[in-house]
Structure 1
Amino acid sequence: MPPPQGGAGDRSWTREVTAYLALLIAIATIGPLQFGYHLVCGRSLIHLFTMPQASLPTPKPDTLAELNAPQDVITCEKKFISSYADIPQCIPMNAGQFGLVSSIFTLGGLFGALCAGPVSSRYGRLMSMRLATIFFVVGPAFEALAPSIPIISLGRLISGVGAGAAVVVVPIYISEVAPPQGKGFFGAMTQVMTNFGIFTTQLLGLFLSRGQLWRVILAVAGVIGLLQALALTCVVESPKWMAANGNPTRARRNLQKIRGQGAAIDDEVDSWGIKGIPTEEEEGLLNHPESQPHPTRQTHIGILEAAINPHYRPAVIAVVGVMLAQQFCGINSIIMYSVSLLSELLPTTSALLSVGVSAVNLVATLACAPLADRWGRKPCLLLSIAGMGTSSLLLATGIIYSLAPLSAIATLTFVFSFAVGLGPVPFILASELVEQEAVGATQGWALAANWTATFVVAQFFPVLNVWMGQGKVYFLFAALAAGFFCFVVLGIPETSGKKSIDEVWGRRSTERRVD
């Protein structure tokens, strides 16, 4: 494991950050923003709609944020005069139906994650992001205008497909356009924007949970999707993908545009390990791109082949394990259920509590974004898991013994610990643990595991919390954290500072893969 990196040399990559690169990252990460936005629309906002009336705060007549409990609005317990006769103010549902509407998003996400890897490998990262925006526009349209449960469920399913695809493709794209020494920082932007989406949903829910305005919360996602579709016309395809797929000249030109005119890019191009890419001098001598040597179009590794082939299988196991750790260490129990867990202990409104936790998560993730490059991926993961496990023990103690200050501190340390490693690093690893031809498939496995684990935690955490006794489920999360700590120690190689996949895994470059 390399020692922690720091000092002035560690910041040299910032000179390679151009305004155009910043624009690319901002546009691409709208996809993860949509993931966080839709996830909380269904699992936090809609879950809140189904909470028993007794658990909701008593409405105060002059307080906008608590003017009408969302449950009253959505379930038609309170009627408002609607100016849209064809669109009902509310959709009557029981708790089971709300659960279906909420969780069907994860089903769409799982499907999108499994399909996005092969699609992005064959047709490109940019094309995959553009396809995802179609789902981001159509899904919210169904949701916002839904007159019935089947229509809003269909909208959630469609939105889930787009979100699942985005969180697979965007981290790969970022890894391939970011400066080599800044991949950890820019890779963390996936998690930063996911958290920003969560925060935005909860902030809008604070003010728009009345009348038909709840539909605006859903419609905003469609507007964001449309804006991203337009913005993607300004985005170039991943240079590394283009070089590996028979267009080396265009790859070099795209990389030059990203790094800035006059920037030296030959070393970075050489690090791709793709033969047949002309040097800057060769490109200047050749007038016609058609006359330049083109590499053979790479073979794309499918989902099943990546898991079966022993050359790629260690990477698949590694990224799946880390993605499971991300969810099974308990972060979504805090993001999704902090209201029901802590509202009785902490003297604040439930809605403000949710917004506060999301804001802390966003700020912490942004503040910790440079750490993966400075300390290395593996140390960040280990520190993160250890912090979350310790916080779980403290949170269990605080809840069981009604110690409000301890519970509040444990919640904050839980969120900060997640931001150090388990938040951003899992999205980075796939592109650093496996060769170009299998990145899409490996990332697909990783996000499929993530979506499955998210569904399990969302569905069964409340049940376990009741069955084991309030707060005791965090002892289970602490035990899982201990297990995942051992997994990272034994099964995850350090990728920071390594020049090749063979170096990451300690293989000889002459070793041949088993087909």
Structure 2
Amino acid sequence: MGHQAPIFAYSGPRVKMARGGEPLHQSLFRDITLYLCYILLATAVGPLQFGYHLAELNAPQDVITCEKKSVTSSALNPSLPQCISMNTDQFAVITSIFTLGGLVGALIAGPCCTQYGRLLTMRLTTTFFVVGPIFEALAPSISVMSIGRFISGIGAGSSLVVGPIYISEVAPPKEKGFFGALTQIMVNVGILLTQVLGYFLSRDSMWRIILGLAGCIGLLQLLMLFLVPESPKWLAEHNHPQRARAILRKIRGRKEDLEDEVAAWNVDSSAEDISEEESLLSAPPGTHPGPNPRASSESVSIFSAIMHPSYRPAMIAVIAVMFAQQLTGINSIIMYSVSLLSTLLPTTAALLTVAISALNLFMTTICAPLSDKIGRKTCILLSITGMGTSAILLAVGMSCGVKILAAIATLLFVASFAVGLGPVPFILANELVGPEAVGATQSWALAANWIATFIVSQFFPILNKALGGQGRVYYVFAVIAAVFGAFIAWWVPETRGKRGANEVWGRKEARERVE
């Protein structure tokens, strides 16, 4: 008698099963604890601040610059002017100086978080988020507001370096792509928050509340970080594997198997006791042992990283992707959408900006698992293609006065950005190099990002005006998208499913060794 296949009576919808017979949705999230959610949220407030400060001047631009001045005096603080008189070029300087602060913060944060730890760097970062908004909210002049924006930019640049590194190191290994998108999700939360506030508070001197609220958020993050541990991976690499394992156990929960993740640290657990004993014997009384000198010496500086041939391909890749993220024009919408669309949609430009921010947040959230399913590189190329096409449609819609086409193209432009160019670049820097060069790579990546952001924020209004307005500048963005799309397709490798930088660049490294 032949073998008979078993018969199942159940005919309802099938549940996807992971390995071991466990439902897929449970296997993806079974290692996520409430404590993990808390520390991820506390860390992601930094990227939220970046988004907040990036867009905080968009909606209230006319009120801040005295284009729309109320006849009634403000009740907030009679000693402060209701607005600060400035022209378009001066406003562009105030907008773009935030990016210069971000560049400084990005270059400092990489070496700092490598040598002194992710946690200390994040705590120091929050002080900039508290001090900067104080200058901004109480600014009586262009110079004081510029100082505040520069200080806030330092905090934002630092948070975008250390935040993604920390999230990548504490996230469950199988969901790094999903949680890596948290950085961009929280950036969009910050953008949406400030756009909503701007919609309701863009009058009189109420704009000062928008700028000052960021300081309260910074203070809240500082308090939250007192309950956040140091990155287990960083502790393990700096000769504290036992403490790292204890923290990892607290993050993952009692039942989770840690062996594979601990083995990936590639450290000797017995080395900690020796190192700590030597540190205690050699250190003066009352001092705390510093970072492991051996681990520090193995770290790669930001200058040696770009000069070393084994790291240079990764540096070129992350810098190209970060340039593509900004030079394709997303911040022309985030920073200038109200003034850009006001001529075409005078009554709904501010409301459309809120809708754009909400769509960006929604699309980034639902597309977060996409990079783990179809790949990082595929998401980026889809994103660039969509943005280039939408840029052409936006230029046509604005130049021809087709309001509905311009509105739809703007929404498609932002939605395309959320598919790949928004979240994926923050993941790549941690996957293209080894742990010794992550800090340096992230600094170079964010430095490129801030330089490109400065170029867009400073010169977009000038270029748009030089081309006669009416959205013709988006033809330029379409050409830039095509160039970067071709380069990324040729140069940037896929990192999904790869077990480290050696596997990502294996063939190229082997060729270099032969040569």
The reply to whether TM is greater than 0.5 is yes
Q: Among 277, 285, 295, which residue is 1:297 paired with?
A: 295
CA offsets per residue over residues 20-78 of structure 1, 9 Å max, x none? 11111111010011111111124x14644477xxxxxxxxxxxxxxxxxx7334xxx63
* Distance in structure 2 (CA, Å) of the matches to 1:110 and 1:419: 23
Is the 2:63–2:83 contact (alpha carbons within 8 Å) kept by the matching residues of 1?
no
Q: 1:350 deviation in Å? A: 2.4
SS at match of 1:305: helix
Partner of 2:8: none
SS at match of 2:56: helix
Partner of 2:47: 32
Is the 1:381–1:421 contact (alpha carbons within 8 Å) kept by the matching residues of 2?
yes
Is the 1:393–1:475 contact (alpha carbons within 8 Å) kept by the matching residues of 2?
yes
Partner of 1:485: 485
Is the 1:46–1:102 contact (alpha carbons within 8 Å) kept by the matching residues of 2?
no
Q: 1:362 deviation in Å? A: 1.1
Is the 1:88–1:147 contact (alpha carbons within 8 Å) kept by the matching residues of 2?
yes
* Distance in structure 1 (CA, Å) of the matches to 2:31 and 2:307: 39
* Distance in structure 1 (CA, Å) of the matches to 2:97 and 2:426: 23
* Larger mean Cα displacement after TM superposition, 191-200 or 138-147: 138-147
SS at match of 2:30: helix
* Distance in structure 1 (CA, Å) of the matches to 2:199 and 2:453: 24
How is 1:158-307 mapped onto 2 (pairs within 5 angstroms)? 158-272=151-265, 274-277=266-269, 296-298=294-296, 299-307=298-306
Partner of 1:335: 334
CA offsets per residue over residues 113-147 of structure 1, 9 Å max, x none? 11110101011111110000010111111221223
Is the 1:117–1:440 contact (alpha carbons within 8 Å) kept by the matching residues of 2?
yes
The answer on 1:453 being equivalent to 2:452 is: yes
Is the 1:385–1:417 contact (alpha carbons within 8 Å) kept by the matching residues of 2?
yes
Q: 1:287 deviation in Å? A: 13
* Distance in structure 2 (CA, Å) of the matches to 1:7 and 1:489: 32
Partner of 1:431: 430
Amino acid at match of 2:48: L
Unaligned runs of 5+ in 2: 1-14, 19-23, 279-291
How has the CA–CA distance of structure 1 residues 336 and 8 changed in structure 2, closer, same or farther, with 3 Å as cutoff? Answer: farther
TM-score by structure 1 length?
0.87
How has the CA–CA distance of structure 1 residues 101 and 510 changed in structure 2, closer, same or farther, with 3 Å as cutoff? Answer: closer
Partner of 2:68: 72
Q: 1:249 deviation in Å? A: 0.9
Partner of 1:104: 97
Q: 1:461 deviation in Å? A: 1.8
* Distance in structure 1 (CA, Å) of the matches to 2:326 and 2:386: 15
How has the CA–CA distance of structure 1 residues 105 and 347 changed in structure 2, closer, same or farther, with 3 Å as cutoff? Answer: closer
Amino acid at match of 1:301: V
CA offsets per residue over residues 275-328 of structure 1, 9 Å max, x none? 3136xxx99xx999869xx99424221111111111111111110000000011
Amino acid at match of 1:135: F
TM-score by structure 2 length?
0.87
How has the CA–CA distance of structure 1 residues 315 and 36 changed in structure 2, closer, same or farther, with 3 Å as cutoff? Answer: same
SS at match of 2:362: helix
* Distance in structure 1 (CA, Å) of the matches to 2:166 and 2:144: 33
How has the CA–CA distance of structure 1 residues 138 and 50 changed in structure 2, closer, same or farther, with 3 Å as cutoff? Answer: closer
Is the 1:248–1:295 contact (alpha carbons within 8 Å) kept by the matching residues of 2?
no
Q: 1:512 deviation in Å? A: 9.5
Amino acid at match of 1:492: V
Amino acid at match of 1:459: Q
Q: 1:467 deviation in Å? A: 2.5
How has the CA–CA distance of structure 1 residues 463 and 508 changed in structure 2, closer, same or farther, with 3 Å as cutoff? Answer: closer
Is the 1:248–1:276 contact (alpha carbons within 8 Å) kept by the matching residues of 2?
yes
Is the 1:244–1:295 contact (alpha carbons within 8 Å) kept by the matching residues of 2?
no
Length, aligned pairs only: 479
Is the 2:390–2:409 contact (alpha carbons within 8 Å) kept by the matching residues of 1?
yes
SS at match of 1:297: helix
* Distance in structure 1 (CA, Å) of the matches to 2:178 and 2:137: 35
Q: Among 92, 100, 109, which residue is 1:116 paired with?
A: 109
Q: 1:480 deviation in Å? A: 1.3
Q: 1:431 deviation in Å? A: 0.6
Is the 1:432–1:495 contact (alpha carbons within 8 Å) kept by the matching residues of 2?
yes
Partner of 2:80: 87
SS at match of 1:16: coil
Is the 2:232–2:247 contact (alpha carbons within 8 Å) kept by the matching residues of 1?
yes
How has the CA–CA distance of structure 1 residues 341 and 7 changed in structure 2, closer, same or farther, with 3 Å as cutoff? Answer: farther
SS at match of 1:72: coil
Is the 1:330–1:477 contact (alpha carbons within 8 Å) kept by the matching residues of 2?
yes
Q: 1:405 deviation in Å? A: 2.2
Amino acid at match of 1:211: D
| Root mean square deviation of aligned Cα | 2.7
Is the 1:13–1:179 contact (alpha carbons within 8 Å) kept by the matching residues of 2?
no
Q: 1:104 deviation in Å? A: 1.5
* Distance in structure 2 (CA, Å) of the matches to 1:102 and 1:482: 27
How is 1:378-397 mapped onto 2 (pairs within 5 angstroms)? 378-397=377-396
Q: 1:424 deviation in Å? A: 0.1
Is the 1:184–1:373 contact (alpha carbons within 8 Å) kept by the matching residues of 2?
yes
Partner of 1:153: 146
Is the 2:64–2:84 contact (alpha carbons within 8 Å) kept by the matching residues of 1?
no
Q: Among 7, 18, 39, which residue is 2:33 paired with?
A: 18
CA offsets per residue over residues 83-123 of structure 1, 9 Å max, x none? 63443433333434333322221111110011110101011
* Larger mean Cα displacement after TM superposition, 101-110 or 436-445: 101-110
Amino acid at match of 1:207: F
Unaligned runs of 5+ in 1: 1-5, 52-69
How has the CA–CA distance of structure 1 residues 485 and 183 changed in structure 2, closer, same or farther, with 3 Å as cutoff? Answer: same
SS at match of 1:314: helix
Partner of 2:284: none
* Distance in structure 1 (CA, Å) of the matches to 2:511 and 2:16: 36
SS at match of 1:364: helix
SS at match of 2:68: helix
